[in-house]
Amino acid sequence: MQYIDEQLREKKYPNCTRLAKYLDVTTKSIQRDIEFMRNTLGAPIEYNNKVKGYFYIDGWNFLPTMYFNELEAKSLMATRAVLAQYQGAPYYSEISGALDKVLHCLPEALTEEHFLDVYSFARTSAKLPSPEYFTKLEKAIKNHSKVRISYEALRTGEQTERVVHPYRLHLFEDTWFLIAICELRKRPRAFILRRIKSLEVLNENYDMDPCFDSDKYLETRMFLFIEGDGKNTVKIWFSSRLSEWIKERKWHPNQEIIDNSDGSLILSMHVDAFDVVVCWIMQFGVDAEVLEPAELRKKIVRECTAISQRYGKTIV
């Protein structure tokens, strides 16, 4: 549309055929653009039958300000501020560059920095994976190519080599994951991208598993980096002091909450494995108690006992 505007302002009387040929699009596409400029943007465009071309009947400029009101401009500024927290992520440079170009064209009144005196944005920072990994894995996912990785396990530090079928790159909180089917484990896994020590895209394709859905896989997992089948049902009691805060957040996609008459509540959900769940529960101290299963209760007891022994006589 900017090129169409230029031709109209220079009074070159462009028509759909010439514009379509120059821009390498269809004449219908040009016609839709002209109709959008005329009907939505209010451009005073008319057609001159004698010269067989369009022209402006009044002075008019095609400006980005015609697309954005004040609230929309502020939303773009907020987007840029949020985006700044993701430097190094895929397409960061391209997206931030596009936003800067749009914001640069807007009047200063719409982009005054006072807006950011009211709102601020922050997130926890973590070491980003190699940019090369994103490029290679994106190509592998699109082409259904197998990938050989050397992976360092989170809990044991053991490094293993395996071939995976990549399905998705997923950002959860401050951590990037590769969702893939692992040939070694014969099941889907969520690999922490920054724990992949080496990566090679193989010249070999894999067949998409019709029974595997990346979205459903992500919906059923509380802690992506823990192996398991998500079939462990846990029930946790929370005191009335924490109950409202617990209800304010979505802790797990399949969670269920039962309110008790004394203001406490019981949170139920299906998780993969217990080790990290133990750490999550213990952050709530005496305001949380595992009701089920017995195995998880025992893990909590063992952890509490170990803490007591570590602190020894200093406990009052």
Q: What is the SS3 assignment for 269?
A: strand
Distance between CA atoms of residues 57 and 62, nearest Å: 14
Do residues 242 and 205 lie in contact, with contact meaning Cβ atoms separated by under 8 Å? no
CA distance 287 to 232: 22
pLDDT number for residue 228? 46
Residue 227 lies in a domain: no
The answer to whether 81 and 68 are in contact (CB under 8 A) is no
Domain edge (last residue) among 195, 219, 243? 219
Of 67, 65, 77, 163, whose CA–CA distance to 116 is shortest?
77
Within a domain: residue 155?
yes
Domain assignment of residue 225, yes or no: no
In a domain, 200, yes or no: yes
The enclosing domain of 170 has a CATH number of: 2.30.30.520
Give yes or no: residues 95 and 174 share one domain.
no
Number of domains in the chain: 4
| Shared-domain flag, residues 264 and 203 | no
In this predicted structure, what is the pLDDT of residue 170? 92
- 42: phi then psi, degrees, rounded to nearest 5: 75, 25
In the predicted model, is pLDDT for residue 60 greater than 90? Answer: no
Asked if residue 76 and residue 51 are part of one domain, the reply reads: no
pTM to 2 decimal places: 0.62
Whether residues 136 and 210 fall in one domain: yes
Shared domain for 215 and 136, answered yes or no, is yes
Same domain as 200, residue 258 = no
Buried b (16+ CB within 10 A) or exposed e, 204-228: eebeeeeeeeeeebbebbbbbbbeb
Query: Looking at residues 51-62, what average pLDDT do you find?
Result: 81
The pLDDT, as a whole number, for residue 62 is: 63
**Domain finish residue from 173, 192, 219:** 219
* Whether 83 and 138 share a structural domain: no
Look at residue 294 and tell me if it is in a domain: yes
Report pLDDT digits (tens) over 63-115.
555 566 677 777 888 888 888 878 778 888 888 888 887 777 666 655 555 66
Strands 45-48 and 53-56: antiparallel
Is the residue at 21 inside a domain?
A: yes
In this structure, of 19-33, 109-123, 140-154, the range with the lowest mean pLDDT score is 109-123
Clarify whether residues 70 and 56 are in a common domain. no
> Domain range for residue 283?
232-313
Q: Does 34 fall in a domain?
A: yes
Q: Tell whether 206 and 138 lie within a shared domain.
A: yes
Which amino acid is residue 81, in one-letter code? Answer: A
For residue 10, what pLDDT is reported? 87
